[in-house]
Structure 1
Amino acid sequence: MTTPPFDPATDRDIAIVSAQLGRPARNVIGIAARCVCGAPTVVATAPRLDDGTPFPTLYYLSHPAATAALSYLEATQVMNEFNELLENDDDLRAHYADAHAAYLADRESIAEVPEIAGISAGGMPSRVKCLHALGAHALAAGPGVNPIGDLALERANWSPSVCECLDYSVG
């Protein structure tokens, strides 16, 4: 199996992600997207944690400004709007199902974990549950792969091309 393209995580990356999250980063296997300044924005996390716990969220949003922007969207009920779009748009629903399949393929290329087989993230393939996970997938996979993640990033008051990082004076 081949793994999805992402940068290996350096010790400095892990220190930055830990600072971003406010806790030690765990089981990071790579950096799937970066801020324009180079700081991690999305981490790739092992499908099975070191303690044996299955972890379906391969792409995890770590950037505080991105997380805050998507949290704001969730608080303003944008997920209801996106769920309605899914319900009423056959093409969007098919594209979202393709995003689910792509997510599963990426994760399964790293490891197959029977307990989470068929489970992706963010509510895929049939509903919108977590904009953080969908935005992380969109950032990691690039535009056009996850249509709901793309919509969320378009609506968010945040852009990966504008640095809003804190001073990560670590390592």
Structure 2
Amino acid sequence: MTEHPTAPRGLNSTDQTLEPSETDLKVLSRQLGRAVRDVVEIPARCVCGNPLVAATAPRLANGTPFPTVFYLAHPVITAAVSRLEAEGAMYAMTERLAEDPELAASYRAAHEDFLAERERIRVASGTGEVPEIEGISAGGMPTRVKCLHVLVGHALAAGQGVNLLGDETLERISSTWDTQTCRCDPAWRDA
């Protein structure tokens, strides 16, 4: 497994702590429209400081294995990525993986990074082993593209250059959302 520093790697996380605050959890719950569960870290934040991605324990408190780990929470990003999925972007990306050995190798490396980060988060959360999902990442990695939300969540959490298809998806939605513009609803922080 790849060793990762304990310092934040994701978007705008170097200015903030990874540990979620009560405000972070409230904002996440409002973004998702439901109470969040088992959030361990906030690996990527908006320029305003609001969470973009929640890192969730790989085993939920109710015992359910949770392979996704990097949960894309911001509704503007989520909606933009959903539109790409509805257009079938995953199928073209999967075809490119079969045709481009360099892209396939990069995607396998992203899969390995995802697994290493999930293990780090598992340890940080105090969660025991999760054999049900051992070796299985998310989003279709390492051989196909199944969920762009996972790839974008991982790309935002890991930082640019780790998950190239996640980075590409972010580029494709840049007219709707970009890393330098806040599109947060101020009501998310209201009591």
TM-score, normalization by structure 1: 0.95
Counterpart Cα distance in 2 of 1:82 and 1:140: 21
CA contact (8 A) 2:40 2:121 kept: no
How far has the Cα of 1:3 moved from its partner? Answer: 7.5
Q: Does 1:120 align with 2:137?
A: yes
- What residue identity is the alignment partner of 1:169? R
Q: How does 1:1-171 map to 2 (within 5 A)?
A: 5-6=7-8, 7-111=18-122, 112-156=129-173, 157-167=176-186, 168-170=188-190
SS of structure 2 residue aligned to 1:32? strand
Moved more, 66-75 or 151-160: 151-160
Residues 33-56 of structure 1 show CA distances to partners (whole Å, capped at 9, x for unaligned) of 001111100000001100111111
Q: Which runs of 5+ in 1 are unaligned?
A: none
Counterpart Cα distance in 2 of 1:25 and 1:123: 24
CA RMSD of aligned residues (A): 1.5
CA contact (8 A) 1:3 1:106 kept: no
TM-score, normalization by structure 2: 0.85
Q: Which runs of 5+ in 2 are unaligned?
A: 9-17, 123-128
Count matched residues.
Answer: 171
SS of structure 2 residue aligned to 1:42? strand
How far has the Cα of 1:77 moved from its partner? Answer: 1.0
Moved more, 3-12 or 93-102: 3-12
CA contact (8 A) 2:26 2:189 kept: no
Q: Would you identify which runs of 4 or more consecutive aligned residues in structure 1 move more than 6 Å? A: none
- What residue identity is the alignment partner of 2:154? H
- Name the % identity: 53
Counterpart Cα distance in 1 of 2:83 and 2:4: 36
